[in-house]
Amino acid sequence: MMVQNQVEPAATTARSSLKERQRQERADLILQMAEAVLSEKGYHDTTIDEIAARVGIAKGTVYLHFPSKIDLVVALFDRDANSFLEFAQQVAQTGDSARVKLEHILRHTYEGMRGKRTQLFMALLSSTSVRNELIEKRGGMGEQVTSLARVIEAILEAGKAAGQLDATIPTPVLLRTFLGLLSPRSFEPLIGGEQVSPEELVRYVGRIYFQGILSPTSQS
């Protein structure tokens, strides 16, 4: 009897784990189809019915995962932001110099601007109503952006402490300037219009940014 009692909780846990995995896989598939439909039709012409049809599930099942269309969009933004934050955290833990770390983050950003996802996000944010709904749902720019700012701030502070960056420039100024370099609105037209490659943009932007903030000893 004792052995049976020990086995039953384990079996229950396994079933729960399987259900959760299936639920996550279904949510991921819904997001994948939602991204495709949004890219094709835009936010206002996208319907939950079509997303459900493409996934092959009932509309009600979509609502079990995402209560509204804007919740789907929020989930897409959060997924992308979490992925970017994870990348930045990994870069921050390397033994590279502050400049190399920041260049990695720039490169990752600019290479992503070639993709359809960036085009989708820019189209969504160009709509005032969608942008306002996103801000209301996410509570501003989202905790991922705050976390990303902390990661970059730590890189900048470490660069100052190592004598790699100009310690006379306040870190908040360095941080806000760098975050501005990550904006798709600023640089996507250059990459999308094939005026420069992502690698070239990293080099040019890096020259503008780093030559202004490197410590005198780092520049010599």
pLDDT 10s per residue in the chain (220 long)? 445 555 566 556 666 687 888 888 999 999 999 999 999 999 999 999 999 999 999 999 999 999 999 999 999 999 999 999 999 999 999 999 999 999 999 999 988 887 788 889 888 888 888 888 888 887 765 788 899 999 999 999 999 999 999 999 999 999 999 999 998 777 777 777 778 888 888 999 988 888 876 665 665 5
pLDDT of residue 217: 61
Within a 10 A sphere around the Cβ of 77, how many other Cβ atoms? 19
Residues 53, 94, single domain; the answer is no
Residues 131 and 26 in one domain: no
Same domain, 61 and 91: no
Tell me, yes or no, whether 121 and 102 share the same domain: yes
| The predicted structure's pLDDT at residue 4 | 54
Structural domain ending residue among the three candidates 67, 89, 111:
67
Which pLDDT score, from 0 to 100, does residue 187 have? 79
Residues 115 and 204 in one domain: yes
Residue 7's Cβ-side half-sphere holds a number of Cα atoms within 13 Å equal to 4
Dist CA 114 CA 119 (whole Å): 8
Last-in-domain residue among 67, 98, 119: 67
C-alpha 122/C-alpha 188 separation (Å) is: 9
| Residues contacting 92, CB < 8 A, separation 6+ | 101, 151, 154, 155
- Integer Cα distance of 97 and 3 in angstroms: 57
Distance CA 48, CA 71 (A): 11
Residue 82's pLDDT is what? 92
* Boundaries of domain holding 98: 69-220
pLDDT of res. 131 = 87
Q: State the total domains in the chain.
A: 2
Verify that 62 and 82 share a domain, yes or no. no
32 and 74 in one domain?
Answer: no
Query: What is the rounded CA–CA span in Å between residue 2 and residue 34?
Result: 49
pLDDT, position 9? 63
Residue 32: give its domain's CATH number: 1.10.10.60
The domain boundary residue, chosen from 42, 67, 92: 67
Which tokens in the block code for residue 47?
């319907």
Closest CA to 142 of 65, 64, 75: 75
